[in-house]
Structure 1
């Protein structure tokens, strides 16, 4: 039987405590129904016996304190809310325990923005990580030694797991159920809780908002120029000349400041504009393509799918209730 420790951090998101408990105890119930022993011993683990959440609206009672847990097999780090640096500070007493348990053989999984707590332990340094796309820029700024993987739902490296944003963590929970209780139980959980099993990417949900929290003023001006001229075909050479920077140096500075190459940034701005039109207008794909500065439908579809994981028509049909098939 695997010992599962679900942490109760200060400023955590209630659902990301309740949902892991629900799925792992639920699997035990499924197993009991077919006469099999439970797969998991599930405990809520806190720094104190009671943790108040959402400004005191809810309180969660820990089954045990971290000092009571000498050995565990799987640690789940829920999502946190509020001001992230403050939340990390409030929960720093978890970190030595998480590190010790990991080095003693435990696996550790962060859910959504819980990645900020896991990254604060240092265990993710030099490794890849998933988190909510909305906090990607802040994560990269705070943890430069961790490689944040855009769009991926589940990341796994050396016994460390992380998930994408919001409800994406259900896919990580299903992944862990499958690993420790088998594919049959994961499929059963997916069916009972109406989950889409094996979803790999959160790309369709990502809204691109260029990173501008940097001090490189010419690069910031280049970003704004790209965003204001979404219908134009803009080249890197044109931008380098416009801001009087050598092309190679411009590319390096742009990448350092924004975490995107200039070409990637141009593409993402254009595709974000296309997404909004596909969501909110009755234009067909060709009309949208021309509006964002593309003239080659194959190139447009290729870039659109690369960024969103969907074709333009699939995206429109998913998010535009008034979409008309073309």
Structure 2
């Protein structure tokens, strides 16, 4: 029988951490029961393990009783890191990082949920590898771990035995994904039906709320960002924008990318599409009306940029998020 360790990251826990742990235990327990009911032998032993036995109450609401301490686990086959609060390293967190590295070097696979990617990246294992995390943490993650290839639009990444997933309760999709990997497709389908979790979701792009990176200290870039945001209905030329701030195009691009993580064109597109999303969510405006309001005149171009950023067409997005789109007249 193989071994799964569900990590309890002391000092980095919030209610999201607890939700990940409880949800994972419940679904994996059901998967194991279904597997044995089909006449198969048990495959995995699951334990919740932490650094120390002390119980910490999260939000004065709930505390978890550990099954084991990581120091007592000599070898595990899969480590699952739940959502966790990013923060400074402590002596305890360094012990956790060291243990994860040791287990990985001994052949363990690793899965991180949501902001648990910060713990995984802190081990150094992810340098040069693909990773996802909650879209709201993307800028902070890139700043702290520039060597990691972050794909915050992806719901799940899978690279050489390391799995990561996007934000919040999308950890449920990762659990189903792991069940298919560690059991089979039929067990994954069964659990998806029992817990009503959508199978085979691949993107979290439609959930992203773009706000832009503003905490960078480059006043010229901040002024350019403000100009873009205040002139959504204009077709903005990057050449004209760089001239407006008396800076060469190449240097303007370089500073903008360094400050925001986006090219000026990408930033303008994201600002425009975020405004279009809000209009599609909350008004009765047609797709064309929204398109013109955010500075596009070509339907095909607007549709392509919208799908690239959200993973959906404008019409699909409106049907998904605008309640009035379902009203029959």
Task: Report Cα offsets for 1:264-309 as digits up to 9, x if no partner.
Answer: 1110000000000011111111110011011111111111011001
Task: Report Cα offsets for 1:178-229 as digits up to 9, x if no partner.
Answer: 1111111111111111111110000000000111121221111111110111
Counterpart check, 1:52 vs 2:68: no
Following superposition, which runs of at least 4 residues in structure 1 exceed 4 angstroms of deviation? Answer: 86-90
Residues 168-317 of structure 1: pairs in structure 2 closer than 5 A: 168-317=170-319
Equivalent pairs, count: 324
Query: Any idea what SS the aligned residue of 2:63 has?
Result: strand
Query: Any idea what SS the aligned residue of 1:85 has?
Result: coil
What CA distance in whole angstroms lies between the structure 2 residues aligned with 1:38 and 1:302? Answer: 48
Q: Report which stretch shifted further, 52-61 or 26-35.
A: 52-61
What CA distance in whole angstroms lies between the structure 2 residues aligned with 1:50 and 1:4? Answer: 22
TM-score normalised by length of structure 2:
0.95
Counterpart check, 1:62 vs 2:70: no
What CA distance in whole angstroms lies between the structure 2 residues aligned with 1:139 and 1:169? Answer: 18
- Residue in structure 2 matched with residue 137 of structure 1 by the alignment: 139
Gaps of 5+ in 1: none
Does structure 1 retain, via aligned residues, the 8 Å contact 2:4–2:80? yes
Query: Any idea what SS the aligned residue of 2:158 has?
Result: strand
Does structure 1 retain, via aligned residues, the 8 Å contact 2:31–2:187? yes
Does structure 2 retain, via aligned residues, the 8 Å contact 1:28–1:37? no
Q: Report which stretch shifted further, 86-95 or 312-321.
A: 86-95
- Residue in structure 1 matched with residue 107 of structure 2 by the alignment: 105
- Residue in structure 2 matched with residue 33 of structure 1 by the alignment: 37
The CA deviation at 1:324 is 5.7
What CA distance in whole angstroms lies between the structure 1 residues aligned with 2:91 and 2:274? Answer: 35
C-alpha root-mean-square deviation of aligned residues, in Å?
1.6
Q: Report which stretch shifted further, 278-287 or 87-96.
A: 87-96
Does structure 2 retain, via aligned residues, the 8 Å contact 1:88–1:116? no
Task: Report Cα offsets for 1:225-244 as digits up to 9, x if no partner.
Answer: 10111111101101110111
Does structure 2 retain, via aligned residues, the 8 Å contact 1:282–1:324? no
TM-score normalised by length of structure 1:
0.95
What CA distance in whole angstroms lies between the structure 1 residues aligned with 2:323 and 2:77? Answer: 45
The CA deviation at 1:87 is 7.5
The CA deviation at 1:103 is 0.3
What CA distance in whole angstroms lies between the structure 2 residues aligned with 1:185 and 1:173? Answer: 12
1:160 pairs with one of 162, 166, 174: 162
What CA distance in whole angstroms lies between the structure 2 residues aligned with 1:118 and 1:212? Answer: 26
Query: Any idea what SS the aligned residue of 1:155 has?
Result: strand
Task: Report Cα offsets for 1:24-77 as digits up to 9, x if no partner.
Answer: 111111012222222211001111224324233211111110111000000000
Distance 1:88 1:311, change over 3 A: farther
Query: Any idea what SS the aligned residue of 1:51 has?
Result: coil
Distance 1:242 1:90, change over 3 A: farther
Task: Report Cα offsets for 1:105-141 as digits up to 9, x if no partner.
Answer: 0001110011111111111111111000011111111
Gaps of 5+ in 2: none
Query: Any idea what SS the aligned residue of 1:211 has?
Result: coil
